[in-house]
Structure 1
């Protein structure tokens, strides 16, 4: 080949290369990886190149063919594939010089994975409706803490029916409820209510046989000697802490009934009484009754019947304990009705237990009534809500049940056929509503709205430390009437919502108290006034000390003058003012003679202790009694006071 011909071929080849190089270089990426059917995919052609020799050259058009008979335009495009499969995606680009370039790619679209979990929000409230922060929520291995609005968020909660959700907060009785999450359904809203531990007591000698009296509801716990053991089975000795919470079944305590009253098999409990008992060693570890040990628990009955069933001395009711692992009430033995002079009904309920828990005496709810119930917002639109129905029977007994209500008119069953139901509804978004209706046959619509006042409230001592306190809020309702409402505020504060008129003053009063191990009580009070939704810090004044000494009192099994012995006795404690008027009286159930009862003897007033037995140790008949004055000035701390009794005869006629 001649040199001239060779140069001509080289020139043609170079021109051809230049012509090809002038076309745009099309390129794209796809996210996410992998692409899933039913989910949005993003196609990005930002990597496309154009001939730089063309002055101010740019891509002027992007055209997409997604391979499923659909197209798109733009440097960045989005597309959702309806089905899994392999699709040929083609990108065509055109630059300013009119040159066109393209590229294709085989894209594999996968089948959408079946979801196995979802997020869950849990509202934590007091039984009185305050929103509780810093509550610990757990479900399986998942944990969360409630925020200032009382809401805890759990991520990726696995689907499942009747999963057990635990809620704890310092100073409150722990709560457990069951929740169900199902694929394809919206997550339920969950609300859990708590009540504060009502009494925290120090027992000086854990190993001693003793009776503990609560300050309310005539509650008592009778322990035998060496009854409590730690997790290793070692007998507890020395000073320990007892947390005792008698539940007021006549009030809002029922809203926080553990497990929301569920006993399995679609049963709910109608409770005559509830009592929570826990013992803790110095390190805060739980103590329980040892093997073969039992304790007696007793509390007053506020009414003489339950769900139409008349109660009398000797009547029996099933005894239930709350199984925190299952989130259900489990029947375990029975309780016997006994007489009680301090009870409003003249009756109390008593049982022997082999472990400590939350205990309830009551009957399964076999009610057959029903109602149509729905929740709506202020616009009348159906919304989901957490619904609590507190049923009030005609004999004043009641029970409470909480469910998640979907945004639809729903038939609720298991309602009494008489009496009324207080329906309370909340949402995790902060909406609130309440109404009262006939228990059976009603069409109940609960309108939920934002509360008129919404304030974070806390109590502070003079040294700046947080204090748990009971508050009273006084204000004016939108109707123009005035009223007051009570709340319990834990140390550190809680969010309080009301329906009082925000434009008018709200008056806040608070009281706090603490008791030391010696029986001294320290009280402090404070007030505040607000007219806007601002945080409320109630400054407590100087503490007033009500001096007291903790002493132990028991009856002597050996009667005075060694006439005989008794096996049981009862004790009574009576506090009189300076004029000899009775201010307060407390009486124990019958207990083994020689068992001490811990009582606080105040510095003010005069206290007398009495012992008696109704079981005469003689064939003549009669009764046995004795008494002693408890003098604050002469008693030492933790002193043991023994009352000797004398036998009084009633001669036969």
Structure 2
């Protein structure tokens, strides 16, 4: 065995220190201090060329990194907080599991899950559901730094079009998985219309990758598709069928010839540091590099020819900080200095229960904290007080989804306790069943529901726009954001469904009666047409092609 002295820094995706995070190397476990730092000696086999470093923290998505044995002296990792626990009453039912974030959803068939011993899973289950926002700091925690093994066995780098993490746990604490032969569908809105300067359209294919924690690599595994979405700002979503659950990623391989040299300095002296570099491409897509570098600095390769990089850095003690924005080439020197604000921050409910939270500091700096709290350091200038706004993860009752909120004003240093004293209803949820029937074999049916409800007596009104991807010829349970029937005296739902085959589309539209909770679409085999996919060269309307093209999808 070989002994290695290691310095590690573990942060949240927002660069907040994560205390008591576990670092596991070759079966040996170490923990971080209050500033996310750990210094330890680890034993690894002399013959090892690489080691896999696993990083875990309750309430955060586990991370692992594949590191060359010779570079183990210094390591860093960022973890993303679990965003939403979703309560499922009967996991054996066919249903759509929905997140409040990015219209993300998981569609499961009946009797889909098994216990660790292979027996069918039934009853109550909690889903730790986290859609990753590829336009935000979430990418700072991308597992394995985006390093993957493709279907040909090559080690490649990735740029993401969307990620979903989901873990299913029953009341006994057992982790569930899809049974052999069962699949589920996952989908989320696509916030950018191109990835790596490649335009995406309805029908575009994107390679799928799942994260293998044991290997510390993404593994290529199937193909996803771009589909239409009413709720997305781009009109697009990404969809895939998966055979198990971990973290799934719609990703393209990323290879570019650019490079940038980066080094940290403190008081004009070069120092070792931990860096997070969020690379923004010209088209708005992004990728992130997380690394630990020596005082001599390092050259980061595989940079795009055009774009910008937002750098954040801390020294190896986790107490000196620095930020910088640069281009994607040349030399970058990040100056580290003492923070101007330094607080230990914790969130509690009004009854004193500690909870994980996330929020904003002075309206612009994002933070995320475990229920144990954590140290937050900033370089804010010209401020005399700090304004903290925080929310808990959404939580559910039988009929509604809520979120705790709170705020606090503090000084620039010292302990901060944010009391989340306000419980705010995000939306109600009412059970509906969806069913698409078709004589044609198609992969899935897309359902889009545009609704409005009101009550003069209760002075209540609201609207919603929801879309779901469901299997054919099977009833699937969904929740719609509609108050209980006794609270509503007017309800209108315009329901449309779309199926696709060989590049063609078939659409049905139905009006939903106020007293009905079944929304059913009966397709026939004759109404196929060619859909508009965002191509500006859409053909002219004429009698000759009036039945060939889906004119109802033309942009207004």
Give the corresponding residue for 2:36. Answer: 150
Give the corresponding residue for 1:14. Answer: none
Deviates more, 1:572-581 or 1:148-157: 572-581
Query: Aligned pair 1:598/2:475, yes or no?
Result: no
Q: CA deviation at 1:522?
A: 4.4
Paired with 1:505 and 1:615, the residues of 2 have a C-alpha distance of 55
Give the corresponding residue for 1:344. Answer: 233
State the Cα deviation string for residues 62-112 of structure 1 (Å, max 9, x = none). xxxxxxxxxxxxxxxxxxxxxxxxxxxxxxxxxxxxxxxxxxxxxxxxxxx
Task: Please show how residues 323-472 of structure 1 align to structure 2 within 5 Å.
Answer: 323-377=212-266, 379-430=267-318, 431-440=320-329, 442-472=330-360
Q: Which structure's CA Rg is the greater one?
A: 1
Distance 1:467 1:320, change over 3 A: same
Q: Which of 280, 292, 309 is equivalent to 2:169? A: 280
Q: CA deviation at 1:626?
A: 3.1
Q: CA deviation at 1:368?
A: 0.6
Q: Which of 591, 613, 620 is equivalent to 2:497? A: 613
Query: Aligned pair 1:627/2:512, yes or no?
Result: yes
Contact kept in structure 1, 2:194 and 2:283, CA below 8 Å: yes
Query: Aligned pair 1:138/2:24, yes or no?
Result: yes
Give the corresponding residue for 2:201. Answer: 312
Give the corresponding residue for 1:642. Answer: 518
Q: CA deviation at 1:325?
A: 0.7
Q: CA deviation at 1:216?
A: 2.0
Paired with 2:289 and 2:305, the residues of 1 have a C-alpha distance of 16
Task: Please show how residues 69-84 of structure 1 align to structure 2 within 5 Å.
Answer: none
Aligned length: 506
Give the corresponding residue for 2:551. Answer: none
Q: CA deviation at 1:439?
A: 0.7
Q: CA deviation at 1:532?
A: 4.0
SS in 1 for 2:324: strand
Distance 1:420 1:544, change over 3 A: closer
Q: CA deviation at 1:549?
A: 5.0
Paired with 1:167 and 1:596, the residues of 2 have a C-alpha distance of 36
SS in 2 for 1:260: helix
State the Cα deviation string for residues 445-469 of structure 1 (Å, max 9, x = none). 1111222111110122222111222
Give the corresponding residue for 1:169. Answer: 57
Give the corresponding residue for 1:224. Answer: 109
Which structure has more relative contact order (CA 8 Å, sep 6+)? It is: 2
Task: Please show how residues 96-245 of structure 1 align to structure 2 within 5 Å.
Answer: 116-158=2-44, 160-182=48-70, 188-245=73-130
Deviates more, 1:413-422 or 1:524-533: 524-533
SS in 1 for 2:234: coil
Give the corresponding residue for 1:248. Answer: 133
Paired with 1:416 and 1:316, the residues of 2 have a C-alpha distance of 22
Paired with 1:180 and 1:464, the residues of 2 have a C-alpha distance of 45
State the Cα deviation string for residues 479-508 of structure 1 (Å, max 9, x = none). xxxx63232222121111111248711222
Paired with 2:284 and 2:164, the residues of 1 have a C-alpha distance of 19
Contact kept in structure 2, 1:142 and 1:154, CA below 8 Å: no
Deviates more, 1:491-500 or 1:400-409: 400-409
Distance 1:518 1:420, change over 3 A: same
Q: CA deviation at 1:329?
A: 0.8
Q: CA deviation at 1:373?
A: 1.7
Q: CA deviation at 1:596?
A: 1.5
State the Cα deviation string for residues 328-352 of structure 1 (Å, max 9, x = none). 0111111122222222221222211
Contact kept in structure 2, 1:255 and 1:400, CA below 8 Å: yes
Contact kept in structure 2, 1:135 and 1:146, CA below 8 Å: yes
Q: CA deviation at 1:202?
A: 1.3
Paired with 2:491 and 2:214, the residues of 1 have a C-alpha distance of 45
Contact kept in structure 1, 2:25 and 2:42, CA below 8 Å: no
Q: CA deviation at 1:543?
A: 3.9
**Hey, which of these two has a bigger chunk of strand by percent?**
2
Contact kept in structure 2, 1:205 and 1:237, CA below 8 Å: yes
Q: CA deviation at 1:623?
A: 3.1
Distance 1:484 1:401, change over 3 A: closer
Paired with 1:573 and 1:222, the residues of 2 have a C-alpha distance of 20
Distance 1:607 1:303, change over 3 A: farther
Instruction: Mark the runs of 5 or more structure 1 residues left unpaired by the alignment.
Output: 1-114, 475-482, 559-566, 631-639
Query: Aligned pair 1:541/2:429, yes or no?
Result: no
Contact kept in structure 2, 1:553 and 1:599, CA below 8 Å: no
Paired with 1:422 and 1:569, the residues of 2 have a C-alpha distance of 38
State the Cα deviation string for residues 200-234 of structure 1 (Å, max 9, x = none). 11111111122222222222211112111111111
State the Cα deviation string for residues 575-604 of structure 1 (Å, max 9, x = none). 556689754322213543421213454467
Query: Aligned pair 1:574/2:451, yes or no?
Result: yes
Deviates more, 1:424-433 or 1:169-178: 424-433
SS in 1 for 2:508: strand
Paired with 1:549 and 1:301, the residues of 2 have a C-alpha distance of 24
Give the corresponding residue for 1:73. Answer: none
Task: Please show how residues 29-108 of structure 1 align to structure 2 within 5 Å.
Answer: none
State the Cα deviation string for residues 380-402 of structure 1 (Å, max 9, x = none). 11111222222111111111122
Distance 1:223 1:523, change over 3 A: closer
Paired with 2:493 and 2:38, the residues of 1 have a C-alpha distance of 50
Contact kept in structure 2, 1:322 and 1:329, CA below 8 Å: yes
Q: CA RMSD in A?
A: 3.1
Query: Aligned pair 1:529/2:409, yes or no?
Result: yes
Instruction: Mark the runs of 5 or more structure 2 residues left unpaired by the alignment.
Output: 439-443, 501-505, 528-545, 548-556
Give the corresponding residue for 1:94. Answer: none
Give the corresponding residue for 1:38. Answer: none
Paired with 1:149 and 1:622, the residues of 2 have a C-alpha distance of 56
TM-score (norm 1): 0.71
Give the corresponding residue for 1:551. Answer: 431
TM-score (norm 2): 0.83
Q: Which of 587, 590, 598 is equivalent to 2:467? A: 587
SS in 2 for 1:238: coil
Paired with 1:514 and 1:347, the residues of 2 have a C-alpha distance of 25
